[in-house]
Each structure stands twice: as C-alpha cells, then as structure tokens.
Amino acid sequence: MKIIKKGILSILLLLANFIIAQNFTISGKISDQANGEVLFGAEIATSDYKKGTTTNEYGFYSLTLPKGKHTLIISYLGYISKIKKIDLTKNITLNISIKEEINTLDEVVVSGKELKIRQKLKKPQMSVTKLNVKTIKQAPVVFGEVDILKTITLLPGVTTNGEGSSGFNVRGGASDQNLVLLDEATIYNTSHLFGFFSVFNADAIKDINLYKGGIPAKYGGRVASVLDVRQKDGNNKEFHINGGIGLISSRLMIEGPIKKDKASFLLAGRASYVNGFLKAAKKDNRVGFYDLNSKISYEINDNNKLFLSGYFGQDSFKLNNFFDSSYGNNTFNLRWNHLFNPKLFSNLSFIYSKYNYNLTFNTLDFKWDSGIIDTNIKYDLKYSFNQKYKLNFGASFTNYNFNPGEIKPTSETSAINEYILDKKYAYEPAIYAELEHKISNKLNLRYGIRFNSFYRIGKQTLNTYQDDLAVVYNPNLDIYERANPIGEISYKKGETIASFTGLEPRFSLAYQVNDNTSVKASYQKINQYLHLISNTNSPTPLDVWTPSGKYIKPQISNQYAIGFFKNIKNEMYTLEIESYYKDVQNRIDYIDGADLIANNHLETEILAGKSRAYGLEILLRKNKGKFTGWFSYTVSKSEQKITGRTAIETGINNGNWYNTPYDRTHDLSITGSYKLNKKWRFGANFIFQTGRPANFPSGQYQFDNYTVPVFVTRNAERLPAYHHLDISATLNSRKNEDRKWKSEWVFGVYNLYGRKNAASITFARNEDTNLNEAIRTSIFGIMPAITYNFKF
C-alpha cells in the first residue's frame, strides 16, 4: 500500500510540472436557479468548445484557462444555456445558476448551441446512461406508479425477469452483480412488494447514472454495473410540498430552506394500501410497504458543505395469523465536501447500510432473522491540474457484518431449538487513482487502477473437508453430493480466515472523428467479493448475501467494449451503438437439490464455474421537438459453464455452456412522449423481448406415488416472447398557470392489447381429464391506472 501511495505522489509531482504559469482557475457550483439544487454533469466551456469541463456529483467544477477574456457557455440537458463573459486575471469562484426550460418544449430552443452533447462525444466515459427524473416521470408504467428501475429496463442492455420479479440484469449479468447506490449507500434489495415497485421514490431523486461498462475506478465491488442514484438536496430557496395519490400507494414530499441559500431539508415518504386491491385479501392477509427519504444539506461556506441523508424502507406481509414477515433497507450517511483550493475537490463520506429480513411463525412458535450490515468510510478527491489532466483518487474502507440467520423459539413450549447460523465478518479496503488525460482535441483517455483487498475474518468455526472439497462427485451415480466434514477449524475474533487482493485496471478512450461523431473503447476488470445465494430465477427477500472465504472465491470479471456515437441533424437525434464482451470467473451455481435455507455450510451446495456475455446495443434518441423518445435494441447472449474439477467429473449440464436465466437474445423497446399542447401530454412504451430460458419436461415416470417429470438439459427451452404496449396521458390543469397550487392527472393503460405474457409455464396433471398439460401463469392483463399529482 505504501508503495502505491508513493506512486500516486510521484504522479502528482510529475504532473505538476505540466502546469503552465499564467493560467487561472475558475471554480464553483452550477445549480438550478429555482430551487438551488446543484446539477451533476452540467457543462461549462469556452465558446469555441475547445476547453470545457463538467460538474461532478456535487455540482462542482474547476476549469483552468489562460489569462485573459473568455466567453463561457454553461449548459445542461433540459435547461436554458447561459453565456457568461469573464476577464480572467486571478483565480475566481463562479457559482452559476441556470433555469429549467419548463414550457419551452414546443418553442424554438435557446440560441446557444447544445454544448452538452458535444462534450459527451469527447468524454471517454461510455456505456453510461443518465436519466433525469423528468424523463422517468413521463414514461407510462403499471399502476401509474413512477418507477426508476422499470424505466432503466427500457434502455439497451438492461432487462428484468418480467413482471413482479425483483432485481434487474445488466449486460447478461445476475442481479447481485449490480452495485446499487442511494446517495452512496449500498441498497441490497431494490424492490418493494416482491418487485412490483422499486425502493426509489422518484420525488426524492435528483438523477440516476447507470454504468454498464467503462466503470470509473472510484467504483468497485460488483462486476456487472453501478446504478448511482442521488437524492435531491432539498430546495434552499422556497418551501414546497408535492405529492400524488395513486391506486396502490400515495406519496408526499416536503422540502425547503432551513437557512435561505445555505441550508435545506427534504423529507419524502410513500405508503401503500394494496390490501383493498388484492382480490384474495380475504381472511387476515395483508401486504404493504412504506419508505422514507430524508436529507439535510448545509453549506458552511464556499469551501465546505455537509450532507446528512437517510433512507428507511420496510415491506411487511401477514398471512392468516400464521405468519408475519418483513424486510427492508435502511441507510444513513454523512458527507463532507471540502474544497482545498480551486483545483482540489474532496468528499469524505461515512455510510451505514443495513438490510434485514424477519419472519415470524406464530403458530409454530419460532422466528427467523437475517441480514447484512455494512459501514463504509470513503474519501474521494479530484484534482483538476489543467485542461489536459484531471486526477481522481481516493480510498475506501468497508466493514461487513453478515447475519445469515437466527432461529429463535417464541414460546417455552416451542419444539424448535434456538439455532444461530454462524455470523460472518469481513472488511474490504480499497484505493484508486484514475487520470483523465486529454491527449489532443480529438483524443481523450481515462486510465487508472483500483486496488482492493478483502479479508474474511473470525470469529467463526468452519468445517474442513477431505482435499478441501465441500462437494464431492459420486462417479457411479453421476451426482454431486455434500461432503462429510472431517474436522473443524476455529478462528478467533479478528483472525483472518481468507484474504484476497485484486488489482483492477480501468481504461477508456474517446476519439472524436468529427464534430458530430466519435468512437470509444473501454476495458475494465472488477472483483466482486459478495455473492447473493439464490437458487431461484429472481431474487427473493429471503436470499442471503455471503462473503467470499475459504470455500467461495471472489468473482472476477473482465469487460471489453467499443462504441460509436453520432449526433444527427444538429443534435435532433443521437445515435449510440455499443458492443461488449464480458467474462466472469468463479460464478457460482448450485448442486441439484441444493438446500440454501438456514444452511450453515453453504459450501456443500455450491459449485464454481464461469460465465460470459456478449452483445450489441443500439440506442437512437430523439432529443428535441414536440415528440421525444428513444428506440433501443439489444442482441445478446449470456451463458454459464460449470465443468468438472477432475477428468471424471461431468460438471453441470455435462460441462457444456448453458443459458443463464437472464439470457435474452432480442430486447427491443420504443418509448415516446408527445406534447400536444400545454394541457395534454401523451406517452407510450412498446417492449419486446425473447422469452426467458426455461426448462420443459422431456418425459415422465411414476415412482412411489409421484409422477416425476424428466428434465435433462438446463435452460435450453424458452418461454414465449414477452411484449406489451403501454400508454399514458397527462392532463395539466389550465388553472395551474395562475396559481401556486399546481396539479395534474395521469391516466394510463398498461398492456393495452392484453398480452398474456407468461411469467412461467408449468406442467401438471389435470385432475378432471387426468392428462398432463402446460399451464401458463401471467400476471397483468390490461391494467388501467389513474394518479393525481400536486405541488405547491
């Protein structure tokens, strides 16, 4: 570690030599004029576009220019560009606020050219999708409930398991391979109501960035993607309330200044009332969720700003007095932005995140608790040397505490013994440095390295097995079986059980072919030390996270991507085409009949193999005019292979590649929004996907009262294609213009033509005819929805 620190220092010194005298730095924040929210990714550049930069996630920018007069253009998607003239004779702080272009969609948009997209062409970052909440709110959704996760699945390379399933899959990756961050805190379960809703309340969210590849070195720990969701800071100018009343849930958000222009707060809550809606909610069943987003921002002075934010979400279910269950994420974090000088920005974060799952069996007299807690300290810095070099560097330390499960009797007469699965402990230090390097006006690079390690520590007692094999192969029967332990090793508190290190190079390149065209390429290596133990097609709240250790190795992934980016008709349209190849080592799968629940020795259920995914993604967006939207198409392959560990072992599926459950050959979505007039706006989505891999029986037999279907291959068949069309209409009251209270009605129909999409196809014997038949389970028919939104 010391060596690397020295290395960074010498890079710093080396680069310092390049700084030419007679340059001065302009720095500051770019924010929304109306509410003071700082903007992430806003652009500031000289009028010839040759020199420019973008704001970081805290709205901060630093731009070094030669002494003299400059005309700066400040722009941000959906905002009116601003022109500022300056005479640079010393370092200056320039805080800029820009105005959202609200009702200008049908007018000619600002004269200033859309610098935004040009800068984007130059930036080496590829495979990233940025969505603002406004876009998300315009897409029609089921039940009329705005859902960030549903919207990102309309983008290329992102899929879900269909309706009513949790998690999402990026570029053929599993859902536990996504790092989901809410204000930098890890969210371990992204869904409410088993996937019908996401945990993100759009009212409280400012923007989201999804990195599918070329992931910056400051992120690590998950191999497929980073979904970075940022909460609003809260309006520091005026007090506002907004909310909505929908069919399933209602929401309310309050924000306002604590001290004008300096300190603000935000509080947003949602609660569901599904019970009345569920047709089967007879007896004493209930199901519901709530969540609460909160944030306080305080600008101490120009150089220091504090943020305190928290998220508290809970789902609960009750079934016939028999059974109570709840699960939820809780996060809390404190961040401190500090500006050392106009070129060096820093952020220190303290983050706490917890996911827990509880189950109480009232009549069986026992309860079950499981969960994961992580605490993380992180220090991120950005040094903007000059136009040529920017250095991002930092360090992070994460401590993990896993509770795989505790069973406790709830009465003295319970026949259940108290049983506590071994708690697991680990910590993960990481450091990184990454340089943004402008080689010429046309060629931009970003390269860096992330070095991390992972220590699995005691206190824990582990079983030992012959030859360290926790799963043994029985060659006579051709099956994998649990090995019998041959002994135990006890590790003391804090003693290292296993440790891993990972050196992760990251590299991105952008070459601008001409004003409107660029090509990009990237490579990334990422280690993932946590695994979600889940044997089902889509994660369940009960699934436990488990750390790498003596028997489970970290997942290690390489991804290579290339892309082509083009602006058409003066940025009326943008076209993005990307292709990627990704491989993952040590991806786990489970032995036949794996027993994953309340199992203290998961190693006896697991086989490790590898996975790979590759594909081509096309995204064509229309950015301007009355009609906006995008067309997205992905063709891809995602597969997995578990070969035998020795020559006689057959592995899974005879050691051949087989489809992962999230393999989709074709994935197409078309999303459009049409603004008819000030009163009406219409939206539509169309989605088409290859059906998900499934297993169909290829025979049957009778054995001791069982009719047993025969399955030979794995994931070789598919469900029928999945598609639906959704529409929405938003009515803005005319009266809104003259009053403080503004309201809108959103009407929507999900699955307009009533496609019965198969959530699954199962096979069973019809009790009347005594014949076997295939049964399709579909979730949503035509689903109309209405929502009332207000703000004042």
Q: Does 538 bind other proteins (CB under 8 A)?
A: yes
As measured in angstroms, the least distance from the Cβ of 593 to other proteins is 4
As measured in angstroms, the least distance from the Cβ of 281 to other proteins is 7
Q: Does 478 bind other proteins (CB under 8 A)?
A: yes
In sequence order, the β-bridge partners of residue 343 are none
Strand pairing class (323-341; 304-319): antiparallel
Q: Does 421 bind other proteins (CB under 8 A)?
A: no
As measured in angstroms, the least distance from the Cβ of 247 to other proteins is 12
Which is closer to other proteins, CB of 529 or CB of 722?
722
Q: Does 776 bind other proteins (CB under 8 A)?
A: yes
**Dihedral sign of CA atoms 205, 211, 216, 220 in order:** positive
* Angstrom distance (rounded) from CA 479 to CA 483: 12
In sequence order, the β-bridge partners of residue 717 are 694
As measured in angstroms, the least distance from the Cβ of 536 to other proteins is 4
Which is closer to other proteins, CB of 111 or CB of 769?
769
> CA-CA distances (angstroms) from residue 64 to 27, 41, 51?
8, 18, 9
Site for other proteins in 318-337 (CB under 8 A): 319-323, 325
Considering only the stretches 265-273, 291-299, 639-647, 773-781, report the one whose residues sit in contact with other proteins under the rule CB under 8 A.
773-781
Q: Does 225 bind other proteins (CB under 8 A)?
A: no
Site for other proteins in 372-411 (CB under 8 A): 407
**Dihedral sign of CA atoms 452, 453, 459, 460 in order:** positive
Element (H, E) at 5: helix 2-16
Which is closer to other proteins, CB of 706 or CB of 753?
706
Pick one of 762, 788, 790, 791: the residue that binds other proteins (CB under 8 A).
762
Site for other proteins in 580-609 (CB under 8 A): 590, 592-593, 595, 597-598
| CA-wise closest residue to 694 among 636, 635, 755, 761 | 761
| CA-wise closest residue to 574 among 564, 583, 584, 565 | 565
Which is closer to other proteins, CB of 17 or CB of 702?
702
* Angstrom distance (rounded) from CA 509 to CA 443: 7
Task: State the number of CA atoms in the 13 A half-sphere of 309 facing the CB.
Answer: 26
Which is closer to other proteins, CB of 22 or CB of 363?
363
As measured in angstroms, the least distance from the Cβ of 765 to other proteins is 7
Which is closer to other proteins, CB of 185 or CB of 287?
287
* Angstrom distance (rounded) from CA 723 to CA 189: 26
Considering only the stretches 260-268, 571-579, 770-778, 784-792, report the one whose residues sit in contact with other proteins under the rule CB under 8 A.
770-778
Site for other proteins in 630-669 (CB under 8 A): none
Q: Does 363 bind other proteins (CB under 8 A)?
A: yes
Total binding residues for other proteins by CB under 8 A?
91
Distance of CA 113 to the CA centre of its chain: 32
* Angstrom distance (rounded) from CA 154 to CA 174: 17
Considering only the stretches 56-64, 99-107, 133-141, 363-371, report the one whose residues sit in contact with other proteins under the rule CB under 8 A.
363-371
Write the interaction track for other proteins spanning residues 717-756; mark x where CB under 8 A is met and - where it is not.
---------------------------------------x
Pick one of 45, 98, 148, 759: the residue that binds other proteins (CB under 8 A).
759
Pick one of 761, 785, 787, 789: the residue that binds other proteins (CB under 8 A).
761
Q: 3-class SS at 664?
A: coil
Which is closer to other proteins, CB of 488 or CB of 592?
592
Which is closer to other proteins, CB of 322 or CB of 680?
322
Task: State the number of CA atoms in the 13 A half-sphere of 662 facing the CB.
Answer: 28
Pick one of 33, 620, 779, 790: the residue that binds other proteins (CB under 8 A).
779
Write the interaction track for other proteins spanning residues 682-721; mark x where CB under 8 A is met and - where it is not.
-------------xxxxxxxxxxxxxxxxxx-xx------
* Angstrom distance (rounded) from CA 175 to CA 205: 22
Q: Does 30 bind other proteins (CB under 8 A)?
A: no
Which is closer to other proteins, CB of 676 or CB of 764?
764
Which is closer to other proteins, CB of 89 or CB of 700?
700
As measured in angstroms, the least distance from the Cβ of 417 to other proteins is 5
Tokens of 174: 């599993």
With a CB cutoff of 8 Å and minimum separation 6, the contacts of 686 are 668, 669, 670, 723, 724, 725, 726
Residue found under tokens 């649990």:
482
| CA-wise closest residue to 370 among 335, 402, 393, 340 | 402
Backbone angles phi, psi at 404, to 5 degrees: -70, -15
DSSP state at residue 657? -
Is residue 553 classed exposed, middle or buried when 0-12, 13-18 and 19+ CB atoms within 10 A define those classes? middle
Which is closer to other proteins, CB of 391 or CB of 407?
407
Cα-atom radius of gyration of the chain, to the nearest Å? 27
* Angstrom distance (rounded) from CA 331 to CA 291: 11
Considering only the stretches 35-43, 273-281, 512-520, 741-749, report the one whose residues sit in contact with other proteins under the rule CB under 8 A.
273-281
Site for other proteins in 481-510 (CB under 8 A): 481-482
Site for other proteins in 140-199 (CB under 8 A): 161-162, 164-166, 193-196
As measured in angstroms, the least distance from the Cβ of 755 to other proteins is 13
Report whether 138 contacts 626 (CB < 8 A): no
Write the interaction track for other proteins spanning residues 276-315; mark x where CB under 8 A is met and - where it is not.
--xxxx---x-x----------------------------
Which is closer to other proteins, CB of 245 or CB of 708?
708
Q: Do you find a cis peptide bond into 459, omega within 30 degrees of 0?
A: yes
As measured in angstroms, the least distance from the Cβ of 402 to other proteins is 19
Beta strands in 542-694 (DSSP E): 544-547, 555-568, 573-590, 606-622, 627-641, 658-659, 666-675, 680-689, 693-694
